[in-house]
Amino acid sequence: MNRLVLSGGQVIDPANSIDAPGDLVIADGRVVSIERPGSVPADAGGRWIDVSGCIVCPGFIDPHVSLREPGFEEDECTASGTAAALAGGFTSVAAQSDTDPVVDNRSSAEFVRLQAERAGNCRVYPLGAVTKRSSGEELAEIGQLVAGGAVGFSDAKRPVANAEVMRRALEYTQMFNRPILHFAIVPELAEGGVMHEGFESTRLGLRGIPAAAQDIMVGRDIALVQLTGGRLHLMNISTEDSVERIRIAQRRGLKITADVTPHHLYLTDREMDRFDTMYKCFPPLRTPEHIRALIEGLKDGTISCISADHQPLAIEKKAVELDIAPPGICGLETLLPVCAKALIEPGHLSWSQLISKLTCGPADVLGLPHGRLTSGVLADVTVIDPSEVWTISAGDFRSRSRNTPFDGLQVQGRVIMTIVGGDVRYRSRPATKF
């Protein structure tokens, strides 16, 4: 029997309401049990790792990651993106359909899984496109995509603008019990926009994207879920009004979930006066009032997931003028410390609450059997040192891209080990230090 014991840590498993010191016992790639702290001796057989002072929790899950392969290998490939995921503490990611060609057919979905298997890093679940070529016109072969392994459907950053198409998609996907992950933005109100519309955009002369661009589409989507009974997950919620609309819809019992990114929780539109393309993202960075609402949404459960919204972009694509630079932040490797800065340090969330947004929250959205340390489940585990102070260095990224606004930021809290199916796939420091 292949045994692994993580001894002396604080085991946090929000799905099972566990937040206590304990020894996690893993055997043959699965969770066996959580024992009293220090009760499993170092010489009990198998590997025994001292993780005292650390948090032991289920492996993180990101509901939408752009892996860029095939078609955009200058930004990222499956191997580099999943290596970045491991370094960020992720044991499972859902791969966005925004490759070239788009994942709108069974063989493309199977290619995603094949490349992930070859890379041998974290688990990768494909997302299929909602519409063919993500053009928003005709439904993609959703049934075939499910057969190819798709766990959900998304046209990535391209909103399904046509309400009739969205209605059909919400109806059709119900038959497979898979969610649609929608990027809710009214395209006409966002066109050409570089940043949040408000005082800062007025001051800087930069074209703005009003909060209403998201609020309106969120409102439309909620109405369509009410009409169809479909399952909808709203990606990258960034505004106060959207959070409130989602909260009300959930109270009415609609099957709607939502996520937010760390950068929308930590950075505001004030940063744009650096005119630095690293801060350009979509939706844009908002104001402190919106951030407060997003945090309230996390606290009361309206927002059940945090996603890095990993958008790796080659340096030459970002080394251009603000209006032509593509939006996006390379986020997998900085998610945890930025969340700690935005949520833990100011006391907004407990570690257990934060971890739920990264584990059982996204697992439940995608219907994955992960995100918990229940006896018998695959042993996907992340170990965090909550007290380690370190400095983010884009040069050290496993990702092929370096587009981050957090380069040089001093942070506290670090993923030090990532375990997939009982196999230690990532360590931030040499094994002897444990």
Residues noted as catalytic:
309
Q: Which of 1, 17, 177, 192 binds other proteins (CB under 8 A)?
A: 192
CA angle at residue 381 from 378 to 383, to 5 degrees?
A: 170
- Choices 200-208, 300-308, 345-353, 365-373; region in contact with other proteins by CB under 8 A: 200-208
Tell me how crowded residue 285 is: count the other CB atoms within 10 A of its CB. Answer: 25
* Residue nearer to other proteins on the CB measure, 192 or 347: 192
**Displacement of CA 398 from its chain's centroid (Å):** 17
**Displacement of CA 8 from its chain's centroid (Å):** 29
Q: Which of residues 124-183 bind other proteins (CB under 8 A)?
A: none
**Alpha-carbon gap, residue 422 to 29, rounded angstroms:** 4
Torsions phi, psi for 217 (to 5 deg): -70, -35
Q: Are strands 305-306 and 256-260 parallel, antiparallel or unpaired?
A: parallel
- Choices 17-25, 83-91, 227-235, 314-322; region in contact with other proteins by CB under 8 A: 314-322
Binding flag, residue 285, other proteins (CB under 8 A): no
Q: Which of 42, 162, 187, 199 binds other proteins (CB under 8 A)?
A: 199
Binding flag, residue 408, other proteins (CB under 8 A): no
**Alpha-carbon gap, residue 402 to 395, rounded angstroms:** 7
Question: Of 241, 238, 224, 216, which is closest to residue 173 (Cα–Cα)?
Answer: 224
Binding flag, residue 204, other proteins (CB under 8 A): yes
Q: Which residues pair with 182 in a beta bridge?
A: 234
* Residue nearer to other proteins on the CB measure, 39 or 202: 202
Q: Which of 164, 205, 251, 346 binds other proteins (CB under 8 A)?
A: 205
Of how many residues is the chain composed? 434
Q: How far is the CB of 199 from other proteins (least distance, A)?
A: 4
Please say whether the beta carbons of 127 and 158 come within 8 A: no
**Alpha-carbon gap, residue 213 to 109, rounded angstroms:** 31
Q: Which of 2, 162, 202, 375 binds other proteins (CB under 8 A)?
A: 202
Residue 145 belongs to what H/E stretch?
Answer: helix 142-147
Q: Which of 191, 289, 345, 396 binds other proteins (CB under 8 A)?
A: 191
Question: Of 285, 85, 130, which is closest to residue 196 (Cα–Cα)?
Answer: 285
Q: Which of 274, 292, 299, 429 binds other proteins (CB under 8 A)?
A: 274
Q: How far is the CB of 137 from other proteins (least distance, A)?
A: 24
* Residue nearer to other proteins on the CB measure, 317 or 357: 317
Amino acid in position 137: E
Q: How far is the CB of 270 from other proteins (least distance, A)?
A: 13
**Displacement of CA 134 from its chain's centroid (Å):** 21
Maximum distance among all Cα pairs of the chain, rounded to whole angstroms: 66
Q: Which of residues 316-355 bind other proteins (CB under 8 A)?
A: 316, 319-324
* Residue nearer to other proteins on the CB measure, 8 or 210: 210
Q: How far is the CB of 206 from other proteins (least distance, A)?
A: 5
Q: Which of 138, 275, 288, 375 binds other proteins (CB under 8 A)?
A: 275
* Residue nearer to other proteins on the CB measure, 11 or 189: 189
Provide the token pair at 1.
Answer: 């029997």
Please say whether the beta carbons of 4 and 47 come within 8 A: yes
Q: Which of 112, 122, 206, 335 binds other proteins (CB under 8 A)?
A: 206
- Choices 194-202, 253-261, 354-362, 421-429; region in contact with other proteins by CB under 8 A: 194-202
262 by Cβ neighbours in 10 Å (0-12 / 13-18 / 19+) ranks as: buried
Q: Which of 29, 37, 101, 198 binds other proteins (CB under 8 A)?
A: 198
Q: How far is the CB of 324 from other proteins (least distance, A)?
A: 6
Residues forming contacts to other proteins in the complex (CB under 8 A) are 191-192, 198-199, 201-207, 274-275, 316, 319-324
